[in-house]
Structure 1
């Protein structure tokens, strides 16, 4: 009888002397199915706008959203710094209307793999984006009460679930509505919470890294011991 034991593949790894210190995401994220965007499979998504962190991570991609009006120069800096695809935030909260569409179009021209809009974004804006750009529109969902079906009908290509501890429940509810829609979801900071989010149905996991200050503090403590 043929053995059904799954063999673990050996994966060679190469590290440099000066680039061996980087932010490594939880290994269990590899168990997610991933989302194929323009032929590139994405399982891990780093949530950051810090170019130093973005440059020193093993994440498959970056989601760059921030609590200010999106600026083209910020998007350009992030895209230039990143070695992996970037999903750029284009507004939808304080920034609305044609400005969102113009920023999204510019982000596409700069090389963004997708654009992210906030929860308050009207469906009319999502539809206008769909008619204007040729990269995925990532729509953020923060609650189980969100009308996800209307978002999908409006033109959302990917759902981004950011519901803190309730994220797995939101993902499960979306899966009841649509079993195939691509879902990116926050996975928390532990292997256990990431695993729960994947089991709930998320295709890719967003990971929030420690801040530059936190990382520096570890290094400084080591230096003080010398």
Structure 2
């Protein structure tokens, strides 16, 4: 079958948006509340969220979950958001209330961290109708008990062992929906997809890194003004950045 060229339309002001690695589009994806999702942007940066081509947002952060944070991200996002609701320091009835609020705010799902006990997941599931996503970090997790407690989706995050852990889960649970970290390269992303991940979570560059690249290009533009004799060389360098 001949390769089909996909038309790509963009605006001048949006040409610098963050593009997820194209290899992620080869994932099967999963359909959550009617939306097919192959990629999750792992970020809580609203500027990054508004300037990306990911299918969804994985809004999990290393602080106590706060409704104002989830509400702000959901309101600013044009794509589905999965909100972190605790599991470590934050749990119990508080996590359940945060989950209920996240659903009311428009979240597509709530994410519980690895330490959260199954009884707490059951409480959350009683209060909400959106999916509960459980983070899995190693093979010690009892997947069946997680599913029995009300978990609908697994979020596998095991660093360099992620693909191996996905493969291990797939052997016993061939149909459970899995989101997994893809790692730093196309090869690691492809390995995770081949292992059985439906959806890949992608960590974008930080705004500091993006600013660094932009400022470097600005400085080269300034060099053209300050040193006219170097204009041709500077222009060649700028063209390489485009």
TM-score band w.r.t. shorter chain = over 0.9
Partner residue of 2:185?
A: 190
Q: Structure 1: which 5+ runs fail to align?
A: 1-5
CA distance, structure 2, for counterparts of residue 173 and residue 150 of structure 1: 16
The alpha carbon displacement at 1:176 in A equals 1.4
The alpha carbon displacement at 1:9 in A equals 2.5
Partner residue of 1:64?
A: 59
Query: RCO (CA 8 Å, sep 6+): is it higher in 1 or 2?
Result: 1
The alpha carbon displacement at 1:7 in A equals 2.8
The alpha carbon displacement at 1:189 in A equals 2.2
TM-score normalised by the chain length of structure 2: 0.90
Runs of 4+ in 1 over 4 A off after TM superposition: none
Q: Structure 2: which 5+ runs fail to align?
A: 222-242
Partner residue of 2:74?
A: 79
Cα deviation code 1:99-156 (max 9, x no counterpart): 0000000000000000000000000011111111000000000012211111111111
SS at 1:138's partner residue? strand
CA distance, structure 1, for counterparts of residue 94 and residue 125 of structure 2: 15
CA RMSD of aligned residues (A): 0.8
Partner of residue 163 from structure 1, selected from 155, 158, 174: 158
Aligned length: 221
Cα deviation code 1:168-226 (max 9, x no counterpart): 01101111121000000000121101000000000000000010000000000111112
CA distance, structure 1, for counterparts of residue 78 and residue 152 of structure 2: 23
Are 1:114 and 2:109 matched, yes or no? yes
Look at both structures and tell me which one has the larger radius of gyration over its CA atoms.
2
